Structure 1
Amino acid sequence: MLDAHAGWSHVERLRSASSLALLVAGVHTAADAERALEAGADGIVAEALAALPEIASTVAGRCPVLLGKGIRLGSDVLASLAHGADAVFLERPVLEGLLVDDREGVADVLEGLAQELREALAFTGTGSAADAGAALLRSEPRPASAQPAEAVSSPVLRKADLHASVSDPVLDTMNFLNEVTHHYCDAISFAPGRPYDGFFDTEQIITHIRRYLDHLAEQGSSAQQIRTAMYQYGPTAGQIREIIADSLRKDEDIDVPPESIVVTVGAQEAMLLVLRALITGPEDVLLVASPCYVGITGAARLLDITVTAVEEREDGFSCDDLETAIRQEQARGRRPRAFYIVPDHSNPSGTTMSPENRTAVVELAARHGILVLEDSPYRMVSPGKPLPTLKSLDRTRTVVHLGSFAKTVFPGARVGFAVADQRVVDDCGRAGLLADELAKIKSMVTVNTSSLSQAAVAGTLLAAGGRVSELNTEAAAYYGDALRATLRSLDRHLPAERRKFLGVRWNEPTGGFFLTVHVPFPADNAALTRSAQQFGVIWTPMSYFFPQGGGHHAIRLSISYLTTAEIEEGTARLVRFIEAECAAS
């Protein structure tokens, strides 16, 4: 019952198990109050003064209503009674009296509060506490100095009046995952997709920044210019675009001018900028490969953009399915504007697009006049030679390449970028680049990306000669070993014949951080809680990553932050959980 996720079923279970008086706390709305009564509550504890009138009106005398917090003065008690409370709880005043003078201190606090209440009743001409009602209340707020901060009735915002994205299930489910991880801190977690930081040396941060400062001096910058470059905001589009462009040419065979690059606060900001620029009205649609990274669908939700999922098949992405989705949207009178995909070792499924499909998807998008948003953060942290990026195959400026140094160079710097070399022509025939328009939007969002973060990333790239692939040789080998160890351990603990009998299967990615395990039972939040609580292993439900529903019988495993020993023990626990769930279902 100390679980942060106790719900109405727990209240009903307590009610059926005990004849003791049952108070339900944490009641914020009239709907909560009604539900509490249905569950058998003998009393309701409201959480906020402003919600009291509505809750009291709903309860209508069927049980006592109490205010749970914020009482410091006798006048606060009277105000609570006038708002509809039958009684109030005392928290901090009692504790403070206890700290000051033990039992005597508490007695003094209670007597002082009672005296203040008597004075408040006399001042307002109220005969007794039972006579306190709404007539005592003033419509205008009193000055802040007239009462302590806790007793001031602050405006209460209705969640229904906020943007719909704050109620998006994805936000709640990711918060739930974080809470589970925090609550069961001894469990082995296959949930976080962050890079392992054991490869990074703290002292190297200073070295890399110094390398960039030396580079500026070598380029002819004066001491004043260097100081300005570090201490001022800097150009919105970024001040290390030339260095990034050089790295892309050497590592990815992406040959674009520096002017086509916008340096962003992680790839997440790049997604937000591109979507804001491309989607102009309710008829515009974003297509996404599904399952899909929640960052892009979350950004679309924030911007009220319609998302249409193109489901991946068991063997990966199909261009035929993409073309069908494009034609269906056009038949509905809508305009597909872009297609988002992670071609290499994708998050969450771990799949990689075939060489044939890479060429085909670029040609298909060009034929239909839509852009491809390519997001490939796991290429340089995967073993072996990567397949060509979609952007390197792009001859018609159809691909917007979204990049990040968060998995490779410096996670905490949060430096990403967008390669947007598409031509944009205004009504007067003047031509520019899509990157110029993204920079305009960025100037209204983050103004610029941290100069210090850019310096650290640039110094690292300069030290490696622009080759992120060489810089990440050790990391790629580490992640590759971890992925293979996970697959071997899963196979050892759940051999082929046994998993066929149970109906369990998984894919075998060649790189990246993730793989998918399909199970015959619902892999939902309840199952995750049982897994963490009873078996000490945490994973991510794949249903989080399906924007239009799906993935209810699959889980995502991330291997990026675990040692070989943790992987071995974690997979053993996971298999015990899977066996137990299969037996129960």
Structure 2
Amino acid sequence: MAVKGVVHDALPVRDIAQSGAAPTLRKADLHASVRDPVLETMTFLNEVTYRYPDAISFAPGRPYDGFFDIEQIFGHLRRYLDHEAGQGRTPEQLRTLMYQYGPVAGQIREIIADSLREDERIDVPAESIVVTVGAQEAMLLVLRALVTGPEDAFLVSSPCFMGITGAARLLDIPVTPVAESEDGFSRAALEAAIAKERSRGRRPRAFYVIPDHSNPSGATMSLRARAELLDCAARHDILVVEDSPYRLVSPGPPLPTLKVLDKDRRVVHLGSFAKTVFPGARLGFVVADQPVVDDAGRTTLLADELAKIKSMVTVNTPALSQAVVAGTLLAANGRLSELNARAAVHYDAAMRLTLRHLDQCLPAARRAALGVRWNRPAGGFFLGVRVPFRADNAALARSAEDFGVIWTPMHYFHPDGGGLDELRLSISYVTPADIAEGVARLARFIEAQSEPS
């Protein structure tokens, strides 16, 4: 049965270009970001995964599906609506709350603020929070607000989560990499980067970092390193953009956030519910309690300025997503750490199992002979493996096709082009059986790839 308005016989691309039905756009005339390898990374990894469906994949950094139950969504939504009704909202107001455009800065800021106090000891007013469409939007808003032009510099810990570098690319903001140390932070590297930017006549504005179980390396900053970072930021008058999505799904009591240690409101704290609730909600937030003074002497919060930008990006964050996440927070009395206790045990076991199989498949003497080594993260989803060959897309394709195992090239995460001899493993989405078999396949691939040609 034909549907009116639907064309069933598609023209070949060359015929479309000649038909006059639509202009042919040159890719060179589009924004340069569409040609940037960073923006093509996820497409490539997805294609590799789907092209080799029988391969075991250590690529996706997504939560384990086994913790999700469809019926929970409805329960959390109902709990939030009951909570709002208990606050005095009428049925008509509840209808408007769920069906209409909501406040730009978010409608569950009080609930998030309560949760931050309960779980993280971050005590900030609700007005300093902007609820965003995932932490990714929060990054975009912060970048757009802080970097005013080519005279400003934005620094990132390297290797770095590609979400922040991708957002910067969309905004034509070059990032300055600061090499990560085994301790997660190097004062010398940050100060050298700041000095270099100032010698070029640029103003360092902020430094982006994941202090806990970072993506991609898995490194965690020590308490001493956190104190050094905040001291360095104060002395050089820069902000710190803290992104920490893996804290509450990792074992043991976490170290205090940079935001808790921050006494001068230098830390802009990014939050995400992707790992602690579920990624499909696409809900994040930013704590931006820094004062902003205009030319007339009026003071607002940075959060107010971020909300202005958000109003022209996504208008507001979907009410349904906010309601479900708020219901989850209410059910846990704000303690996502307790809600995620079972998940933390699961991910910890997966990390330990991966490390144990790596040790078994590539014992110390053998990996020393090959020049292979890896780190041992205490939590999070990721670890890094250094190898004696170029771990690029071609090597990944061979690994998937000939050995049935997929990983992520680490060079995707290096803004300065490094990391060509490293790969990232994600342990969050693989079963124990797949970990055992996948690590064995990986070891065989590393052995074969390391042989002299």
- What range is the shorter-chain TM-score in? over 0.9
Q: Which of 251, 262, 265 lines up with 1:394 in the alignment? A: 262
Paired position in structure 2 for 1:216: 84
Q: Which of 331, 341, 344 lines up with 2:209 in the alignment? A: 341
Paired position in structure 1 for 2:295: 427
Q: Which of 454, 457, 463 lines up with 2:322 in the alignment? A: 454
Paired position in structure 2 for 1:406: 274
Determine if contact 2:223/2:255 at 8 Å carries over to the other structure.
Answer: yes
Q: Which of 468, 475, 479 lines up with 2:336 in the alignment? A: 468
Q: Distance in 2 between matches of 1:363 and 1:501?
A: 42
Unpaired runs of at least 5, structure 1? 1-45, 50-68, 72-79, 81-150
Q: Distance in 2 between matches of 1:159 and 1:185?
A: 31
The CA deviation string for residues 308-366 of structure 1, in whole angstroms up to 9 with x for no partner, is: 00011345321121111111111110011110000000000000011101111112112
Q: Which of 518, 531, 543 lines up with 2:411 in the alignment? A: 543
Number of residues paired by the alignment? 443
Shift of 1:410: 2.2
Paired position in structure 1 for 2:169: 301
Determine if contact 1:505/1:519 at 8 Å carries over to the other structure.
Answer: yes
Shift of 1:264: 0.1
| Counterpart residue type for residue 411 of structure 2 | S
Q: Which of 478, 487, 490 lines up with 2:355 in the alignment? A: 487
2:427 is the counterpart of 1:559: yes
Structure with more relative contact order (C-alpha pairs < 8 Å, separation 6 or more): 2
Taking structure 1 as reference, are residues 240 and 538 closer, same or farther at Cα in structure 2, changes over 3 Å only? same
Runs of 4+ in structure 1 displaced over 4 angstroms?
Answer: 46-49
The CA deviation string for residues 511-552 of structure 1, in whole angstroms up to 9 with x for no partner, is: 000000000000011100100000000000000000111000
Q: Distance in 2 between matches of 1:249 and 1:324?
A: 35
- Give me the TM-score of the superposition, normalised by structure 2: 0.96
Q: Distance in 2 between matches of 1:547 and 1:347?
A: 14
Paired position in structure 2 for 1:31: none
Identity %: 72
Paired position in structure 2 for 1:436: 304
Unpaired runs of at least 5, structure 2? 1-10
Determine if contact 1:408/1:468 at 8 Å carries over to the other structure.
Answer: yes
What does 1:26-37 align with in structure 2 at a 5 Å threshold?
Answer: none
Q: Which of 180, 189, 193 lines up with 2:48 in the alignment? A: 180
Paired position in structure 2 for 1:496: 364
Shift of 1:70: 5.7
Q: Which of 48, 53, 71 lines up with 1:203 in the alignment? A: 71
The CA deviation string for residues 251-296 of structure 1, in whole angstroms up to 9 with x for no partner, is: 1110000000000000000000011011101111110000000000
| Counterpart residue type for residue 32 of structure 2 | A
Q: Distance in 2 between matches of 1:401 and 1:233?
A: 26
2:251 is the counterpart of 1:383: yes
Q: Distance in 2 between matches of 1:532 and 1:544?
A: 18
Q: Distance in 2 between matches of 1:572 and 1:552?
A: 22
The CA deviation string for residues 72-112 of structure 1, in whole angstroms up to 9 with x for no partner, is: xxxxxxxx7xxxxxxxxxxxxxxxxxxxxxxxxxxxxxxxx
Q: Distance in 2 between matches of 1:181 and 1:169?
A: 18
2:127 is the counterpart of 1:263: no
Shift of 1:578: 0.3
Determine if contact 1:329/1:336 at 8 Å carries over to the other structure.
Answer: yes
Q: Distance in 1 between matches of 2:166 and 2:40?
A: 12
Q: Distance in 2 between matches of 1:550 and 1:313?
A: 14
Shift of 1:172: 2.5
Q: Distance in 2 between matches of 1:527 and 1:250?
A: 46
Higher Cα radius of gyration: 1
- Give me the TM-score of the superposition, normalised by structure 1: 0.74
2:61 is the counterpart of 1:190: no
Determine if contact 1:379/1:386 at 8 Å carries over to the other structure.
Answer: yes
2:30 is the counterpart of 1:166: no
Q: Distance in 1 between matches of 2:254 and 2:183?
A: 19
Q: Distance in 2 between matches of 1:562 and 1:484?
A: 13
The CA deviation string for residues 428-457 of structure 1, in whole angstroms up to 9 with x for no partner, is: 101010000000000000000010000000
Q: Distance in 1 between matches of 2:181 and 2:229?
A: 15
Q: Distance in 2 between matches of 1:308 and 1:576?
A: 37
Paired position in structure 2 for 1:254: 122
What does 1:105-116 align with in structure 2 at a 5 Å threshold?
Answer: none
Q: Distance in 2 between matches of 1:465 and 1:174?
A: 36
Determine if contact 1:493/1:572 at 8 Å carries over to the other structure.
Answer: yes
Taking structure 1 as reference, are residues 70 and 287 closer, same or farther at Cα in structure 2, changes over 3 Å only? closer
Paired position in structure 2 for 1:358: 226
Taking structure 1 as reference, are residues 230 and 153 closer, same or farther at Cα in structure 2, changes over 3 Å only? closer
Taking structure 1 as reference, are residues 315 and 470 closer, same or farther at Cα in structure 2, changes over 3 Å only? closer
The CA deviation string for residues 164-220 of structure 1, in whole angstroms up to 9 with x for no partner, is: 111111123332222111100110000000111211111010100110011101111
| Counterpart residue type for residue 445 of structure 2 | F
Paired position in structure 2 for 1:142: none
Paired position in structure 2 for 1:285: 153
Helix, strand or coil: the match of 2:451?
A: helix
Determine if contact 2:374/2:386 at 8 Å carries over to the other structure.
Answer: yes
Determine if contact 1:284/1:306 at 8 Å carries over to the other structure.
Answer: no
Q: Distance in 2 between matches of 1:189 and 1:398?
A: 39
Q: Distance in 1 between matches of 2:360 and 2:171?
A: 46
Determine if contact 2:211/2:243 at 8 Å carries over to the other structure.
Answer: yes
Q: Distance in 1 between matches of 2:417 and 2:16?
A: 42
Q: Distance in 2 between matches of 1:579 and 1:394?
A: 47
2:439 is the counterpart of 1:571: yes
Paired position in structure 1 for 2:6: none
Paired position in structure 1 for 2:8: none
Paired position in structure 1 for 2:378: 510
Determine if contact 2:56/2:404 at 8 Å carries over to the other structure.
Answer: yes
Q: Distance in 2 between matches of 1:553 and 1:526?
A: 13
What does 1:1-20 align with in structure 2 at a 5 Å threshold?
Answer: none
Paired position in structure 1 for 2:108: 240
